[in-house]
Structure 1
Amino acid sequence: MRVTKLEESNVWAFHENLVLMRDGSVFGIYRIPSMVANTMSSEGKEKTKAIVSAVVGDLIPYVDFEINDVPMPRDIIDIMEKLSERLDDDEVYIDLANTIFNKMIQSIYETNGQPFEYYHYLTVPLKSLHISVDMKEVMRQGYRHVKDVVLQGLGLQEDISSDWHKKYHEQRLVLEKHLTLLNAVRIPVEESILLNRIQYLRGMHYDKDYEILSVKSSVQNLDDVNISFENVSVLKLSSVDEESYVGFYPVDQLPTNVSYLHLMEEIHKLNFSVESKIKAKFPSTKGYFSLMGQTKRAQDKIKNAVIDNEKEGDGVKTKQVVDHHLLEDIEERISAGEKMISYMHVLILTADSLEELKARRNILRGTLSSIGVGVLEANADQVYLFYKTMLGKTLEFSDRNFIQKISIEGFAENLFFVSQKVGTDVGFYLGKVDNQIESWFGDYRAALASSVNLVFSDVLEANKQDVHGKVTNNPHIAVTGDTGSGKSFLLKLLFVYHSLLRTKSLYIDPKDEIKGQFLKVADELEVAGLYPELVRYIRSFNFVSLDVKNKENKGMLDPIVFLDRAEGKSLATTMVKTIKPAMSDKQEKGFLEALNQVYSDKEAGLERGMLHVFELMAKSEIEEVCDLGELLFTKSTDSVLNVAFSRGENKGIDTTSKITVVGIKNLELPLESSKLEITDSERDGLVILYAIGYFCKKFGSDDHSEETLMIMDEVWLYKSTSAGQKILNDIKRLGRSQNNFLLVGTQSVADIETGGDETGFGTVFAFYEEKNPDRVLDFIKVPITQETQMWLQNMTMAQCIYYDTYGRKERMTVDGTIFPEMARLFDTVKVKSKDEKNSWEALE
């Protein structure tokens, strides 16, 4: 049976977030931003519920309101287009970024279908037939409604005044004061139109701009859809070439104790969209139609049923006892002056087929039954629920089915206006929020498949101004966790993604493994003729391997070569004093005079380096200066110090390259905790460390207008010495003022704890730490409970806690599957498989 427009749309006109209905009532629609209430934050959830309770209590004078959780299509292409505006102008980076964006989009749609995110809306009547206290106004509205019906019967229609909305200006402002705690947003007229229109397009693909324009041209197009029945009880919507199956499932039963119900949170965990519609009414306090009157009549009905059972020899049924106690509880609450709500909660599913709709319905019912919530199929009421859930429809006394009666505080236990979101609105796709506490036992692909909650991240957003909702502007990022958890994979993934933007990137590689692995992949791809854009990107790197065995690296960190006089003198003095801490005044004077002379020679165009300084000192007539010069020259020959001291024959390390990777080899550093005397090789290591640190500071501070991203893997190397700690803190202090972002990788949050240092980390990706997992929870400000401990300990490979700049913390699974060829860049362990000679697995 096919029917069209079983009931005409009651919408007459739109203005901004106001909707005028044909009966004269006017509704204001507000979008409510998701509040921060992390999965594991009991305190945050209680705060959210308290806010909702307070706001709902302020809505009592309005009698009616509705809460809609609407799954809106997430425009992934738009996200990528906005991100592409920040790409580097060089084609090398644009070409690779476009390949990555295309693979992200393809992967998301193949695994998720149409991606979506939940938008929360609160709709309140500003003026309606139900709340008017002016009898003349009621009469006038009633007359207009009758008149409109008569005119329609004659094929005519009364035009509405274009300024109808002006008389609701003050009422809207008053309402918005009541909604302040929710940060309610007055939506534009286009969103108001779309929100009403998509009620007829559920489950279909649609062109947002076209649908809005269509309704703007004629409000009669709002309900343009064909409705038919499948298997008698399922609605099928169809429009042009699109069709979908829609099921309306009202909540029919709540647990006796609704404390910590958190129904909406459970719904959002499902890996398919569920629209939620709540129609709420504050019942009258007196009279036949009051809640007290209804309660007493329901009690009398139960008593009569019990008497009838006894007459027939049947005992009292359990449900009758439960219902009796529930009604008594409601009566006591009303008598105590507690404000109550009557509401209808309908959950709406869509699918491309009947089978898929039934499967989703069964999953929904099974999930909610586990928390004591019953959901009805309501086969005979699908059309009624379709129209009853329309925006602007309110509960009437005749609506007796599917109605729940509860206190305001109990109502708030549903946990409205919360979503498990983490990351940024615009950014690179990183993975998905993991909705469960249990372990996936290493199967990260199953974890990805179980979720549709996408995570995007642009770590460079932390330094941007006017980003609503941020709780910190700290630009620094930390990736922590045990070896083998996925830490290093994510660190390098973030590095590659963000190096494509208009920023300079510097990667300090303490194992000097990136160069070999990246160039190996580039060679293999080039031979196979695959992904030339990735090959060009890799070959654009400025690879610097600070290996003393390689003559090309001689003098790479020579302060005279890569620094001007003012900066170079400071670093050179620090380096020499590290080798010879107890210099006499004469020795220091002789060193500085030689250093100035060599800089003058360099400024005159001569090729000069630190070895020239030592040679000048060795020629000094002052014996102790001469001895020190000879000592420094000898130490600098055929040792790790070759990297820092030279004759200037090689070009120094470059601070202007777009992407620089500095690999470090054979660097020994003293342990701060060691009581042993520092060895010569450890002193030499400190000399190189100071030079690297100085280079890093210069890299991050040369141009304040330019964004710089500095990646330091295994940051514990710097924490192991007081000298390294000072260098790290100096780099961190560049921060916002100089547009520098520091991305560090380390095995423990203990390595990034700031202590007295206030330059901490605004973004954290915390993988599992076996030695002290509670320290992780404490660091990311999650209460240590048995539940949160399980949440953390059950993380499997590729999973971490993402703590973003908005203060949100969620467990997520990193998705490294979208571009396997690029993922091979991050491999650290080579393994053999049956199918291929050289297969790689990123274990860290």
Structure 2
Amino acid sequence: YIDPKDEMKSQFLAVRDKLESYLPEMEEKISELVVLIEDDEILARRIRNLEFSYHKPLIDYINHIHFVSLDVKDKKNIGALDPIVFLEGNQATELATQVTKGLIGDKLTEDDRFENCFNQKVQEVIEARAKGKTVGLLNVFQLMAKSEEDFIRYRAENILSKISGTMLELVFSEGQNPSVSMNEHITILGVTGLNLAKSGEVKTAQNEMSDIIMYALGDFCRFFGARDREQETVIWLDEGWFFNTTDIGKGILMRMKRVGRSENNFLVLISQSVKDGASEEDDTAFGTIFAFKETGNTTAALKAIGLPDDVEEIIKWYENMTKGLALLKDPFGRIGRVVIQGQNSALNECFKTSFSKMKSTKAVA
């Protein structure tokens, strides 16, 4: 789950901490049941019911989530997207080369001596990582900075100076921290601090560093979804505008849509506007659409679903929808109106993202 606002981790953990504060009370009640009930089957059922009433399964679920934050201000996040840490073999080589090209451009390949040295050191570090050593992509340039050739040494030192103290440490590290993982069952990846240039804008140094982070983020999603054709995977991309307003974001989105065709991956694009669901370049026949009421944008919503936008009855049918109602279009073109209902009040609290100390006008009245 890609969370561009990096707000889910704090809320999920806050809900977990609150629920955990009631567990001692639950344990006391379980102890009482053990004394009172001799039948093991009845006891197990009563304990299970008690655990559900105290939301123990939800606590276990939240503890099962692997939270990763792309915030370099916290040194624990350094190397979160280091390709040599979360990938292996050719995939690690491919992404390591790509992000390095993003950092220094044609300087990577303009001189065979530098490129050959880079390729050699990448393989050395990847092999060292495979043997259990704590190393990452930054070590490649540290090794190159020891070269006897001044040209290679000076350029490697220059690269190290570009990385030090910047957000690039998320990708170029010494492998000392855990990274995103291909093996975690659930990962929520919070993205923060990126400054992406919009299509057509001249890129600043900050934009170029953000692009490198996005390259690594996009390849993590692509490799995660494509690595095993027999394993069903789901990737959630929240805040669709975040990807559709930049060239690199659009590229990542298109690659992810194509992964799903043959690799058993299900892509979910979440946005506040139906306009973020497709583009003129999109030929992937993006599947199921859920469209909640979008105030002031009735025409676009109806067009996205495939309904007439000039029939008064259909317009009223859409605009009369209340909270929890949505239009649904399935891959076969069937359209209907459905109700989305949360099944667990405590779980619903995890998705609360709007907070205010002000009392509502309705409550005051």
Scaled by the length of structure 1, the TM-score of the pair is 0.37
Return the offset for 1:622.
Answer: 4.1
Q: Secondary structure at the match of 1:829?
A: coil
Q: Which has the higher contact order (CA 8 A, sep 6+)?
A: 2
Work out the CA distance in 1 between the residues paired with 2:193 and 2:281.
32
Return the offset for 1:623.
Answer: 4.1
Q: Secondary structure at the match of 1:660?
A: strand
Work out the CA distance in 2 between the residues paired with 1:671 and 1:771.
25
Are 2:182 and 1:688 equivalent residues in the alignment?
Answer: no
Return the offset for 1:604.
Answer: 4.4
Q: Paired residue for 2:321? A: 795
**2:226 paired residue among 682, 697, 701:** 701
Return the offset for 1:605.
Answer: 4.1
Are 2:173 and 1:635 equivalent residues in the alignment?
Answer: no
Q: Paired residue for 1:519? A: 13
Are 2:241 and 1:747 equivalent residues in the alignment?
Answer: no
Q: Paired residue for 2:246? A: 721
Counting aligned pairs with the same residue, the percent is 38
Contact 1:612–1:647, Cα closer than 8 Å, also in 2: yes
Contact 1:752–1:760, Cα closer than 8 Å, also in 2: no
Q: Secondary structure at the match of 2:333?
A: coil
Query: What do the CA deviations read for 1:82-117 (whole angstroms, capped 9, x no partner)?
Result: xxxxxxxxxxxxxxxxxxxxxxxxxxxxxxxxxxxx
Amino acid aligned to 1:517: Q
Q: Paired residue for 1:823? A: 348
Q: Paired residue for 2:283? A: 758
Query: What do the CA deviations read for 1:374-420 (whole angstroms, capped 9, x no partner)?
Result: xxxxxxxxxxxxxxxxxxxxxxxxxxxxxxxxxxxxxxxxxxxxxxx
Are 2:120 and 1:593 equivalent residues in the alignment?
Answer: yes
Q: Paired residue for 2:186? A: 659
Return the offset for 1:831.
Answer: 3.8
Return the offset for 1:770.
Answer: 4.2
Return the offset for 1:828.
Answer: 0.9
Change (3 A) 1:645 1:621: same
**1:615 paired residue among 133, 142, 145:** 142
Return the offset for 1:553.
Answer: 1.5
Q: Secondary structure at the match of 1:830?
A: coil
Work out the CA distance in 1 between the residues paired with 2:135 and 2:344.
47
Q: Secondary structure at the match of 2:355?
A: strand
Query: What do the CA deviations read for 1:423-470 (whole angstroms, capped 9, x no partner)?
Result: xxxxxxxxxxxxxxxxxxxxxxxxxxxxxxxxxxxxxxxxxxxxxxxx
Work out the CA distance in 2 between the residues paired with 1:644 and 1:537.
29
Unaligned stretches of 5+ in structure 2?
24-53, 361-365
Q: Paired residue for 1:509? A: 3
Contact 1:579–1:684, Cα closer than 8 Å, also in 2: yes
**1:807 paired residue among 330, 333, 353:** 333
- Point out the more displaced range, 545-554 or 769-778: 769-778
Contact 2:218–2:252, Cα closer than 8 Å, also in 1: yes
Amino acid aligned to 2:63: R
Return the offset for 1:833.
Answer: 8.1
Work out the CA distance in 1 between the residues paired with 2:130 and 2:325.
54
Amino acid aligned to 1:657: E
Amino acid aligned to 1:520: A
Contact 1:717–1:724, Cα closer than 8 Å, also in 2: yes
Work out the CA distance in 2 between the residues paired with 1:623 and 1:716.
46
Query: What do the CA deviations read for 1:212-234 (whole angstroms, capped 9, x no partner)?
Result: xxxxxxxxxxxxxxxxxxxxxxx
Q: Paired residue for 2:61? A: 537
Contact 1:700–1:740, Cα closer than 8 Å, also in 2: yes
Return the offset for 1:694.
Answer: 1.0
Q: Secondary structure at the match of 2:234?
A: strand
Contact 1:754–1:760, Cα closer than 8 Å, also in 2: no
Query: What do the CA deviations read for 1:309-341 (whole angstroms, capped 9, x no partner)?
Result: xxxxxxxxxxxxxxxxxxxxxxxxxxxxxxxxx
Change (3 A) 1:767 1:598: same
Q: Paired residue for 1:546? A: 70
- Point out the more displaced range, 825-834 or 719-728: 825-834
Work out the CA distance in 2 between the residues paired with 1:670 and 1:551.
26
Query: What do the CA deviations read for 1:259-283 (whole angstroms, capped 9, x no partner)?
Result: xxxxxxxxxxxxxxxxxxxxxxxxx
Mapping for residues 644-655 of structure 1, pairs under 5 Å: 644-655=171-182
Work out the CA distance in 2 between the residues paired with 1:607 and 1:526.
35
Contact 1:715–1:746, Cα closer than 8 Å, also in 2: yes
What is the Cα-based RMSD across aligned positions, in Å? 2.3
**1:576 paired residue among 59, 75, 100:** 100
Mapping for residues 34-45 of structure 1, pairs under 5 Å: none
Contact 1:557–1:653, Cα closer than 8 Å, also in 2: yes
Mapping for residues 162-241 of structure 1, pairs under 5 Å: none
Q: Paired residue for 1:567? A: 91
Amino acid aligned to 1:574: Q
Return the offset for 1:825.
Answer: 0.9
Structure number having the greater strand percentage? 1
Return the offset for 1:532.
Answer: 1.2
Amino acid aligned to 1:650: N
Unaligned stretches of 5+ in structure 1?
1-506, 836-844
Amino acid aligned to 2:276: D
Q: Secondary structure at the match of 2:328?
A: strand
Structure number having the greater helix percentage? 2
Work out the CA distance in 2 between the residues paired with 1:601 and 1:821.
45
Amino acid aligned to 1:668: N
Q: Paired residue for 2:29? A: none
Work out the CA distance in 1 between the residues paired with 2:76 and 2:190.
14
Report the number of matched residues: 327
Query: What do the CA deviations read for 1:69-88 (whole angstroms, capped 9, x no partner)?
Result: xxxxxxxxxxxxxxxxxxxx
Mapping for residues 338-487 of structure 1, pairs under 5 Å: none
Change (3 A) 1:593 1:720: farther
Contact 1:545–1:663, Cα closer than 8 Å, also in 2: yes
Contact 2:198–2:247, Cα closer than 8 Å, also in 1: no
Give 1 or 2 for the bigger CA radius of gyration: 1
Work out the CA distance in 2 between the residues paired with 1:803 and 1:523.
38
Q: Secondary structure at the match of 1:766?
A: strand
Work out the CA distance in 1 between the residues paired with 2:357 and 2:339.
25
Query: What do the CA deviations read for 1:711-732 (whole angstroms, capped 9, x no partner)?
Result: 1101222222222222221111
Contact 2:163–2:172, Cα closer than 8 Å, also in 1: yes
